[in-house]
Amino acid sequence: MPEYIVEMKLITKKFPGIVANDDITVQIKKGEIFALLGENGAGKSTLMSMLFGMYEPDEGEIWVRGSKVKIDSPNFATKLNIGMVHQHFKLVQNYTIAENIILGVEPMKKLAGIFPYVDIRDAGRRIEKLSKKFGLEVDPDNKIEDVNVSIQQRVEILKMLYREAEILIFDEPTAVLTPQEIEFLLDIIKGLREGGKTIILITHKLEEIKKVADRCAVLCRGKLIDILDVKETSTRRMANLMVGREVNFETVKKPAHRKDVVLKVSHLTVKNQEHFEIVKEVSFSIRGGEIFAIAGVSGNGQVEIADAIAGLTKVSGGTIELNDTDITNYNIRRRTLCGISYIPEDRQNFGLVLDFTLSDNLALKSYFKKNFSPKGILNRGEIDRYGNKLIEKYDIRSGQGVRTLVRSMSGGNQQKVIIAREIELASPFMIFVQPTRGLDIGAIENIHNMILQERDKGKAILLISLELDEIMSISDTIGVIYNGQLQKTAETKSLTPKEVGEFMMGVRHG
Amino acid sequence: MDKEKRKPTKPTEKMNLSSDSPGISFHLLANEKWQPITIPAFSILLSLIAAAIVILLIGKNPLNAFLNLLQGSGILPKPSYAGYKGILTDFLSLLNAMTPLLFASLAVAVAFKAGLFNIGVSGMMLTAGFTATVAVGYSDLNSFLAKPVVLIIGIGAGAVMGAFVGWLKYRFNINEVVSTIMLNNIAQYVFGFFINAYIVDPVSRQSRYILDSSRLTLVNVEYGGLKMDIPLGFILAIAAAVFLKFFMDKTILGYEIKTVGANRNAAKYAGINVKKNIILAMVISGALAGLAGVTYYLGYFSSIQPKVLSSVGYDAIAVSLLGNSNPVGIVFSSLLISIISKGSTYMSSIAGIDQDIASVITGLILLFSACGEYIKFKIRRLNDRQLERKESEA
Amino acid sequence: MDTIIIDGLSFALPLFIMAIGGIYSERSGITNLAIEGLQGFGAFIGALAVILISNFAKTDLESLFYLAIAFAMIGGMVFSILHAVLCIKFKANQVISGVVINILSVALTSFLTSQINKNAFGAASDKFQLGVSKRFTIGGLSRIPVIGAVFKGIYPFEIVIIIIAFFAWYVLYKTRYGLRLRACGDNPHSVDAAGVEVSRIRFTAVMVSGALSGLGGMCFAYSISANFSPNIYMGYGYLAIAALIFGNWKILPALGACLIFGFAKSGGYRIVQLMKLPSAYSDLIMILPYVLTLLLLIFFSKTNRAPRALGEIYDKGKR
């Protein structure tokens, strides 16, 4: 038996404009937990996508179990007993857990010896056996749309195990989980190692690596920096290697100077399309100069709160007051003019018109104002001048200036367009939903600083994020939501992440 | 990253894209600034080639056929003319036929800008034409009063029907393609029934001819020894195209409609009233379709054939797609489609090719236009690859 | 009452089989407005094939009925490849592609019909005469009061449709292919991740819908119109789409919707006959299915849920 189960030798992968992997060599031992550490865009996912057959390397070789292989498709990777849990789950929402697990490798039976059919019962039995063995409890007959993210992740893991995977790749598995769920997942991963599996963990979170990994490869901008023995390396050293410079663990933040109440939400209730109360009797208020963050597991009503305040969703009960004006029944435009800025979660489908130019997107909420369109006729020159001003002020990078189609811009710059537009509205109240999702560390820092700057100008800010780290580091007050209800509202300083996690899961009540 | 990007481009017979020395045509197509013109031109070329193959297959000479198309539509002179006829007669007749098509295509384009696919232009045309015929066509109003009233009724009838479709879309989320098709069929049979029951001419089996006072085309005007039909609506149609161009590019309302069409969620988020804009776009679209209807049934023709929908509404989709929903582009593409359909009668009589070939060519143009995005995409990818190659060589 | 059931069924079943085709295509994620054009083109190929064969072999047209159906299905399937290529390979807008195919189908079949009539048979006609296929009655069962009518005056194609429909149901809900197909319409990425080629599944699904549309079109040509002519484009393809929308993209409820259309139409005609109205009024009855479609859509479109990935262009790289 060779020493290494997987060897990737001198791997280079280029995409138009960037070298995603540059001469990377990693060797992974059977039965270890091997971590890949690096910022977003460092090339971790690309490297593992090649091991899983989604891309092929431009240069270099992949060896599995001592023989050289050419992995040209996920199917072949599966044959080599390699499995991968992607960052975005690949599940069919209206299928049961069992149907999802067997998709692609369906067990068949024949009716009357002629008509083949999918034997879902046999699948169910096998799944139950597997889930008992590895402590991954699921009900195979539940539909995906009815179970939470943590269960969905278990389904993804079961999918690999059902295909008899021996080498398991996890791509940022903890990004969407609560601290408690993370603990649980890390235990499962350790259990898998005990069961003889080899695990590759892609992450940018140092604590996780410290907790479970045996060895860790640090990647930075497509290059392999070092391979470390986790037990013998300090977290700080790993962090410095990852970013390639000294890192501030804490965002520099002045203490909050709270002023008068700007936004007051009382007994807010929102129903979804199925008339289910997704937000129940939620009350809170935000003062000028304060960042109020709503923490919670995805799908517990936090986005609906933001939409209800901005006017995108109908309110079925309660009131919303902005600077002592009741805006509950105002339409969206009127609320914007009253002073609400909104950075939405889904920037491509809500925040931007991708097929419009940069200047049109920057004017999306002000094109109708006197200076841009006197007498109902658009003044293109003025709109472009305004666009150029914002491009400079917010350092928005684009190919063809104001004429660039936003579709062709990078995610970070698209987000800058939205934030620039919303800040320029000069609203006393701003909503940020998942403002840093999918951005790299540089961009994240930049956006955090912008949010803090706005706070220090005296604005009231509502921050909704699934990243607990983000909430802990920049917010002044935290409201934890579970099942549509605020469980706890307190000063950020007075709470630990673990406590917040308990409220998020509904196991503790304030 | 786009996995597709790594695959080598398969050589396409259509255009020698993968060759190492791309021809002039490629350079023309690759220039993004000219793409709004070059890509439709390319689609037309492809469909003419395809049509030529069809014509060859039935054993006729395609070049002669195309020449006949141009002659029949008054672009090129015919070898001989009957009395009172000349190239000018044919050309004016072309404009006469083009007028409703231009209106109809603008109707499709406005809806398309709002993200709606109005297939109901034919039904709206019939509704407007029938209403105007019944209300004004047989009345003794004088010419100066009757013509404007016909236009107003056309606009009104079309707009009401458009508003209904917009309302169904917004209020009940009914796919406008399905609802407009249903309305087409309903209009066809309901008005067919009324025509047959009340205003049918027993000889022609069509509705009785309207009086000249309400007709939007001046027929048989004698000038310079020629008898010509002068389509008054043509000037209005051009004016509508110019206005629409201005409306879409320069006004707040146009900007809002375009935003709703490009991304309905973002429009709502930006505080734009999506309902109002969907209905407004359909009202404008309907009004234009109504104008198409009156210039067709009370201009180009002067009666209505019961239980038949005009093909103009469908040709308009091709025209609009070809003109990239841009009013200026549409003026040219509607001229082209009119030449094909108008010239086909003459071609049929001279070359013996069934005149349905005109709609086949239109259909082919439509088909290749639908591939326009793909062609653009291919070209962009090829450009990237060439750039890369140059970089790696350097 | 009997005629209402007999005529209703013979209208509803071809509609139903086209709706099943639509369900295949749309459950795989490809919007299919091309059904109208596909059924016409299929019927054209079927009619053309039997006309030519009967001319050469001097056989009776009616006996070639099953051959016509086979050719119609092939014709519809071949034409549907155009839709599949446009939507899947060329990533064209699926609504536009559907409309394009409908327009092209009408143009092409009208042109070819008259051209072939002129060149091959020397007749100036835009029709291929087919006749109406023979009906039969199942003796014992047809004597049951009221419901017995179901077994009276059956067109052979109704049996064919029922068999194929049952088979289609089985494939869609019980087999491996069906499981994968429905997954494509909800989340194609999951299918891709499971190592199954999404575009291949979608391609075949569109082809199935082409074949079934062709079958439906041929049935109309052999019953209602007794010929192939451009009049076959009556918007029935769109009725099938409406039926599958009320049916919530499921086969059995879609059958219910088709039956409602069928009985509305035959019932309407019966009323005109019973009230001894002049025949012009039958034009007004013709609008019943269309009006019903609109009304049903008004009541059902809000609650119904389309497949999640319907109409989205699938790009492997996009995550």
- pLDDT tens for A383-397 read 999 999 999 999 888
Give yes or no: residues B21 and B119 share one domain.
Answer: no
pLDDT at residue B11 tops 50: no
pLDDT at residue B61 tops 60: yes
> Residue A381 has what pLDDT?
94
Are the CB atoms for C71 and C50 separated by under 8 Å? yes
The reply to whether B198 touches chain C by the CB within 8 Å rule is no
Using the beta-carbon criterion (under 8 Å), do C191 and A116 form an inter-chain contact?
no
Q: How confident is the model at residue A251 (pLDDT cuts 50, 70, 90)?
A: low
Side-chain-side CA neighbours of residue B204 (13 Å): 13
> Residue B20 has what pLDDT?
43
Q: Which amino acid belongs to residue C34?
A: A
Q: Measured between alpha carbons, how far is residue B86 from residues A39, A432, B77, B83 in Å?
A: 76, 70, 8, 8
- Local structure of residue A295 (DSSP, 8 states): E
Q: Which two tokens stand for residue C111?
A: 């042109």
pLDDT at residue A61 tops 90: yes
Which of B6, B252, B258 lies closest to A368 in CB terms?
A: B252
Q: Name chain A contacts of C170, Cβ cutoff 8 Å.
A: 115
The reply to whether C125 touches chain A by the CB within 8 Å rule is no
> Residue B112 has what pLDDT?
94
Tens digit of each residue's pLDDT (9 = 90 or more) over B147-158: 999 999 999 999
Which of C103, C283, C293 lies closest to B189 in CB terms?
A: C283
pLDDT at residue B352 tops 90: no
DSSP per-residue letters across A371-414? TT-GGGB--HHHHHHHHHHHHHHTT---SSGGGSBGGGS-HHHH
* Best mutation target, C31, C86, C96, C100, to test chain B (most B CBs within 10 A): C100
Radius of gyration, alpha carbons of chain C: 20
Domain total of chain B: 2
Q: Which domain holds residue B130?
A: 81-338
* End-of-domain residue from the set B310, B338, B366: B338
Using the beta-carbon criterion (under 8 Å), do C100 and B363 form an inter-chain contact?
yes
Are the CB atoms for A453 and A476 separated by under 8 Å? no
Question: How many CB atoms sit inside 10 A of residue A190's CB?
Answer: 14
The reply to whether C48 touches chain A by the CB within 8 Å rule is no
Are the CB atoms for A471 and A463 separated by under 8 Å? yes
> Residue C57 has what pLDDT?
82
Higher pLDDT, A299 or A359: A359
- Greatest mean pLDDT range, B10-24, B48-62, C136-150: B48-62
Using the beta-carbon criterion (under 8 Å), do B388 and A344 form an inter-chain contact?
no
Using the beta-carbon criterion (under 8 Å), do A331 and B388 form an inter-chain contact?
no
**In sequence order, what are the residues at sequence separation of 6 or more whose Cβ sits closer than 8 angstroms to the Cβ of residue A135?**
A187, A188, A191
Q: Name chain B contacts of A356, Cβ cutoff 8 Å.
A: 258-259, 262
> Residue A411 has what pLDDT?
79
List the chains bordering chain C where 3 or more Cβ pairs fall under 8 Å.
A, B
Task: State in words which class domain A4-243 has.
Answer: alpha beta
Are the CB atoms for A24 and A47 separated by under 8 Å? yes
Task: State in words which class domain A261-354+426-504 has.
Answer: alpha beta
List the chains bordering chain B where 3 or more Cβ pairs fall under 8 Å.
A, C
> Residue B273 has what pLDDT?
96
Return the minimum-mean-pLDDT range out of A177-191, B124-138, C47-61: C47-61
> Considering only residues 132 to 171 of chain C, which have any Cβ-Cβ distance to chain A shorter than 8 Å?
170
Mean pLDDT of B46-71: 90
pLDDT at residue B30 tops 80: no
Give yes or no: residues B264 and B121 share one domain.
Answer: yes
Using the beta-carbon criterion (under 8 Å), do B197 and C301 form an inter-chain contact?
no
Higher pLDDT, B83 or A377: A377
> Residue A239 has what pLDDT?
77
Domain total of chain C: 1
Per DSSP, helices labelled H in C153-287 are 156-174, 176-186, 188-193, 198-222, 236-246, 251-274, 281-286
- Alpha carbon of C308: minimum distance to chain A alpha carbons (Å): 9
Q: How confident is the model at residue C134 (pLDDT cuts 50, 70, 90)?
A: confident
Q: Which amino acid belongs to residue B63?
A: L
Higher pLDDT, B6 or C194: C194
Tell me the average pLDDT of chain A: 90
B5: nearest CA partner in chain C: C317
Using the beta-carbon criterion (under 8 Å), do B265 and A355 form an inter-chain contact?
no
Using the beta-carbon criterion (under 8 Å), do C104 and B363 form an inter-chain contact?
yes
Q: Which domain holds residue C186?
A: 2-300
Instruction: Sheet with A460-465: list strands edge to edge.
Output: A340-343, A429-433, A460-465, A290-295, A477-482, A485-491
| B17 lies in some domain | yes
| C310 lies in some domain | no
Going by their DSSP bridges, the two strands C227-228 and C128-129 should be labelled as antiparallel
Q: Name chain A contacts of C185, Cβ cutoff 8 Å.
A: none
Q: Name chain B contacts of A351, Cβ cutoff 8 Å.
A: 266, 269
Q: Name chain B contacts of C316, Cβ cutoff 8 Å.
A: 2-4
Nearest of A365, A380, A373 to residue A425 by alpha carbon: A365
Using the beta-carbon criterion (under 8 Å), do A103 and C170 form an inter-chain contact?
no
Return the minimum-mean-pLDDT range out of A3-17, A87-101, B98-112: A3-17
Q: How far apart are CA A205 and CA C39, in angstroms?
A: 58
Q: How far apart are CA A452 and CA A268, in angstroms?
A: 27
Sort A369 into a burial class: Cβ within 10 Å, 0-12 / 13-18 / 19+.
exposed
Q: What is the 3-state secondary structure (H, E, C) of A89-149?
A: CCCCCCCEHHHHHHCCCCCEEEECCCEEEECHHHHHHHHHHHHHHHCCCCCCCCEHHHCCH
Return the minimum-mean-pLDDT range out of A138-152, A422-436, C71-85: A138-152
Q: Which two tokens stand for residue A428?
A: 């006393």
Using the beta-carbon criterion (under 8 Å), do B186 and C287 form an inter-chain contact?
yes
Radius of gyration, alpha carbons of chain B: 23
Tens digit of each residue's pLDDT (9 = 90 or more) over B156-191: 999 999 999 999 999 988 888 889 988 999 999 999
Nearest of A239, A153, A150, A180 to residue A497 by alpha carbon: A180
The CA-to-CA distance between both ends of chain C, in Å, stands at 57
pLDDT at residue B99 tops 90: yes
Give yes or no: residues B266 and B160 share one domain.
Answer: yes
Domains A4-243 and A261-354+426-504 belong to one CATH topology: yes
Q: How confident is the model at residue B13 (pLDDT cuts 50, 70, 90)?
A: very low
Higher pLDDT, B357 or A6: A6
Give yes or no: residues B48 and B111 share one domain.
Answer: no
Q: Which amino acid belongs to residue B168?
A: L
Mean pLDDT of A329-355: 94
* End-of-domain residue from the set B312, B338, B364: B338
pLDDT at residue B393 tops 70: no
Q: Measured between alpha carbons, how far is residue B92 from residues A11, B88, B89, C163 in Å?
A: 70, 6, 5, 58
Give yes or no: residues B252 and B376 share one domain.
Answer: no
Are the CB atoms for A336 and A361 separated by under 8 Å? no
Q: What residues are paired with B218 via a beta bridge?
A: B230
> Residue C118 has what pLDDT?
85
Tens digit of each residue's pLDDT (9 = 90 or more) over C293-316: 888 888 877 777 788 889 888 876
Q: How far apart are CA A104 and CA A99, in angstroms?
A: 10
- What CATH number is given to the structural domain containing C265? 1.10.3470
Q: How confident is the model at residue A98 (pLDDT cuts 50, 70, 90)?
A: very high
Query: If you search the block for the tokens 């295909």, which residue do you land on?
Result: A163
Q: How far apart are CA B363 and CA B330, in angstroms?
A: 16
pLDDT at residue B14 tops 50: no
Give yes or no: residues B332 and B357 share one domain.
Answer: no
Which of A364, A378, A380 lies closest to B270 in CB terms?
A: A364
- Alpha carbon of A75: minimum distance to chain C alpha carbons (Å): 5
* Domain spans of chain A, in order of start: 4-243, 261-354+426-504
> Residue B2 has what pLDDT?
40
Q: What residues are paired with A143 via a beta bridge?
A: A96
Using the beta-carbon criterion (under 8 Å), do C92 and B374 form an inter-chain contact?
yes
- What CATH number is given to the structural domain containing B210? 1.10.3470
Q: How confident is the model at residue B1 (pLDDT cuts 50, 70, 90)?
A: very low
Which of B253, B269, B272 lies closest to A312 in CB terms?
A: B269
> Residue A409 has what pLDDT?
83
Return the minimum-mean-pLDDT range out of A184-198, A315-329, B369-383: B369-383
Q: Name chain C contacts of A90, Cβ cutoff 8 Å.
A: 187, 189-190, 192-194
- The proportion of chain A whose per-residue pLDDT surpasses 70, expressed as a percent, equals 96
Mean pLDDT of B116-122: 93
Q: How confident is the model at residue B394 (pLDDT cuts 50, 70, 90)?
A: low
Give yes or no: residues B254 and B185 share one domain.
Answer: yes
* Best mutation target, B186, B322, B355, B378, to test chain C (most C CBs within 10 A): B186
Q: How far apart are CA A208 and CA A177, in angstroms?
A: 13
Give yes or no: residues B316 and B266 share one domain.
Answer: yes
Which of A93, A103, A105 lies closest to C191 in CB terms?
A: A103
Radius of gyration, alpha carbons of chain A: 25
| B13 lies in some domain | yes
Tens digit of each residue's pLDDT (9 = 90 or more) over B310-327: 989 988 988 998 898 999
Tens digit of each residue's pLDDT (9 = 90 or more) over C255-274: 999 998 899 889 888 888 88
Give yes or no: residues B185 and B321 share one domain.
Answer: yes
List the chains bordering chain A where 3 or more Cβ pairs fall under 8 Å.
B, C
Mean pLDDT of C213-227: 91
Task: Give chain B's contact residues with A (Cβ, < 8 Å).
Answer: 1, 3, 5-6, 249-253, 255, 258-259, 262-263, 265-273, 384, 388
Give yes or no: residues B264 and B333 share one domain.
Answer: yes
> Residue B39 has what pLDDT?
83
Q: Measured between alpha carbons, how far is residue C32 from residues A49, C22, C133, C166 in Å?
A: 34, 6, 29, 22
Q: How far apart are CA A15 and CA B1, in angstroms?
A: 8
Mean pLDDT of B193-214: 93
pLDDT at residue A505 tops 60: yes
Q: What residues are paired with A479 via a beta bridge?
A: A294, A489
